[in-house]
């Protein structure tokens, strides 16, 4: 028993030593865990796994990322389970702040949604549509199959905004499929059914190889997709790691992160996936 204890102690001391060995740059902060609630698109595109290790190494913080649809991501923060959020649904973000849960909305990067579909393009979007609203009208006119996220995510809200008052009724219109699933699952379904789908470009490009889909429309103004950071309000919610949230936001808005974000995707896809907010 004593022997065992000695071994444990020795191991423990070794680890403590190793922890000290990190030296000047990574002093562990008092409250080292930062909880970030974000949407699937940011996490699935690989951006956070690419950025955060750099931040963690520089500051000694550990960032725990929970990813879900924007609706759930915001709800988790409202329940006090996050220190900051990174989402892309302006109206919900403003409501979040209005209700006192968030401190300030900081738009820091954007990209574009794209409309993907089968190469045959039965609705004639590639050559016939100037913007997303026109493309959607063509899809609706030709009753071509369209997969909707239907999960109140940022992407779903963007889709509804493009439809405007002409949102198809999923019960009556068989071509309008309300999938109620994540981006990846919806793209797979679109590929299977030869259907159209609105997606963020990053998720599409990172799944492209397994999909029989092509980008048919991109970079139209009505498909801009702005991501914001919001620090959760410690006056409203208990147990918020304010220092951590501030440190992470400051770093994300800083020059080092900006350079990394601007470079992200160029190597793998030959193009940037996110652009910085000017």
Partner 1 sequence: MLMNMDRELLQIIGVTLRMSFFSTLISCLVGMPLGVVMAKSTFKGKRTIRKIIGTFMGLPPVVAGLIVYLLFTRYGPFGSLGLLFTVEIMVIAQCMLIIPVVINLTESILSVNVKGLTETAKGLNFSKSKTAFLLLTENRFSLMSVVLTAFGRSIAEVGAVSLVGGNIQWKTRVMTTAIMLETNKGNFTFALALGIVLLLISLAVNILASVMTKEDIK
- Scanning 94-102, 103-111, 190-198, 263-271 for contacts with partner 1 by CB under 8 A, the matching segment is 190-198
Under the binding rule (CB under 8 A), the answer on residue 234 touching partner 1 is no
* Residues 6+ positions from 37 with CB-CB distance below 8 Å: 66, 67, 68, 73, 74, 76, 77, 81, 82, 84, 85, 86
CA 114, CA 187: separation in Å to the nearest integer? 12
* Binding-residue pattern over the window 138 to 177 for partner 1, x denoting contact by CB under 8 A: ------------xxxx----------------xx-----x
Report whether 230 contacts 97 (CB < 8 A): yes
- Nearer Cβ to partner 1, position 68 or 106? 68
- Nearer Cβ to partner 1, position 118 or 265? 118
* Among residues 65, 180, 218, 243, the one that binds partner 1 under rule CB under 8 A: 180
* Among residues 133, 185, 262, 276, the one that binds partner 1 under rule CB under 8 A: 185
Structure token digits, residue 181: 């699933």
CA 276, CA 255: separation in Å to the nearest integer? 11
- Chain-centroid distance of CA 14 in Å reads 39
Report whether 202 contacts 45 (CB < 8 A): yes
- 3-class SS shares of the chain: helix, strand, coil, % to 5: 50, 20, 30
Please list every residue from 78 through 137 that binds partner 1, using CB under 8 A.
79
Q: Binding residues for partner 1, how many (CB under 8 A)?
A: 27
Under the binding rule (CB under 8 A), the answer on residue 36 touching partner 1 is no
* Among residues 192, 250, 256, 259, the one that binds partner 1 under rule CB under 8 A: 192
Strand duo 62-68 + 33-39: pairing: parallel
Name the site residues for partner 1 (rule: CB under 8 A).
68-69, 71-76, 79, 150-153, 170-171, 177-182, 185, 189, 191-193, 212
């Amino acid at each position: 028993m004593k022997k065992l204890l000695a071994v444990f102690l020795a191991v423990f001391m070794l680890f403590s030593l190793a922890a000290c060995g990190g030296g000047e740059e990574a002093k562990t902060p008092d409250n080292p865990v930062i909880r970030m609630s974000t949407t699937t698109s940011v996490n699935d595109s690989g951006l956070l796994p690419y950025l955060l290790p750099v931040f963690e190494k520089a500051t000694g913080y550990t960032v725990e990322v929970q990813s879900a649809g924007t609706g759930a991501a915001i709800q988790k923060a409202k329940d006090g389970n996050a220190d900051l959020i990174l989402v892309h649904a302006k109206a919900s973000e403003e409501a979040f702040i209005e209700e006192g849960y968030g401190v300030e909305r900081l738009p820091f990067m954007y990209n574009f949604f794209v409309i993907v579909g089968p190469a045959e393009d039965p609705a004639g979007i590639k050559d016939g549509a100037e913007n997303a609203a026109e493309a959607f009208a063509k899809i609706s006119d030709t009753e071509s199959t369209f997969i909707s996220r239907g999960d109140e995510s940022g992407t779903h809200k963007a889709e509804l905004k493009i439809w405007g008052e002409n949102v198809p009724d999923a019960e009556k219109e068989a071509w309008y499929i309300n999938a109620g699933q994540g981006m990846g699952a919806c793209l797979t379904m679109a590929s299977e059914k030869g259907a159209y789908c609105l997606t963020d470009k990053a998720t599409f490009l990172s799944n492209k190889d397994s999909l029989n889909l092509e980008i048919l429309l991109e970079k139209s103004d009505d498909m801009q997709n702005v991501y914001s950071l919001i620090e959760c309000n410690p006056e409203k919610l208990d147990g918020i790691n304010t220092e951590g949230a501030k440190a992470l936001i400051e770093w994300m808005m800083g020059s080092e992160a900006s350079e990394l974000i601007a470079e992200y995707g160029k190597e793998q896809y030959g193009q940037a996936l996110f652009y910085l907010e000017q």
